[in-house]
Amino acid sequence: MPENDPTTTPTPTPEPKPEEKPAPTPETKPEEKPDETADALQAEKDARAAAEKEAADLKAENARLRRSNAATKGTDLDEIRSEVRAEFVGQLVRAEVRAAASGRLADPADALALLDLEKLTPEKGEPDPAAIKAALDELLTAKPYLAPAGEGSKVWGDVGAGQRKSARPEPATPLERLRNAFGNS
């Protein structure tokens, strides 16, 4: 019964050690041989050179097509002029609206924000001041709070003090002054 005796210590069994593989060197991978690595590297260099050549060819073809397209299409000067003219007329309409709203609205920028400028932009020519005035009138009737504050709405007004113009001319002699004071005219 020495097997069940608690006073005896069991002997440890040694664990098997895994087999050690040699560490790979930087020049070689464990799976590949040096010849395979050099071949793969050369294949990658060849593929990169081919891709760069193809990219350069495509860039040259793109530039050639752009030049030929520009030569056949030409620059449409009338279209460019009409775009510039439309932009200029839009700026002119905004300036006219600001000028017309400067005395009629508390903040003239409100007119630019609230009016439909497309309706006020003419197809050709100058902006119509009558149409701008009518649009501002319509805006003021719809939103009267946009109008500037009137003279009667001042916080500090005339309270009746201060120098006034005389109703009658100043008497020339003291006798006239006495007549005016006592009511004898």
Give the tens place of pLDDT for each residue, 84-118: 888 888 899 999 999 999 888 888 888 889 888 88
Predicted confidence band at 158 (pLDDT cuts at 50, 70, 90)? low
Look at the block and give the residue holding tokens 């050709």: 124
Q: What is the distance between the alpha carbons of residues 52 and 57, in angstroms, rounded to a whole number? A: 9
CA angle 111, 94, 143 (to 5 degrees): 10
C-alpha closest to that of 135 among 108, 114, 106: 114
Please give the average per-residue pLDDT across 48-54, as a whole number. 93
Distances 29 to 37, 39, 180 between C-alpha atoms, Å: 8, 14, 128
Domain boundaries, the chain: 34-74, 77-147
Per DSSP, 168 falls in state: S
* DSSP notation for 21-81: PPPPPTT--SSS-HHHHHHHHHHHHHHHHHHHHHHHHHHHHHHHHHHHHHHHH---HHHHH
Residues 6+ apart with CB under 8 A from 136: 97, 100, 101, 104, 105, 111, 115
Q: pTM of the entire structure? A: 0.42
Mean pLDDT value of segment 16-33: 56
Residue 151's pLDDT is: 46
If you count them, how many residues does the chain have? 185
pLDDT at residue 50, as a whole number: 94
Amino acid letter, residue 183: G
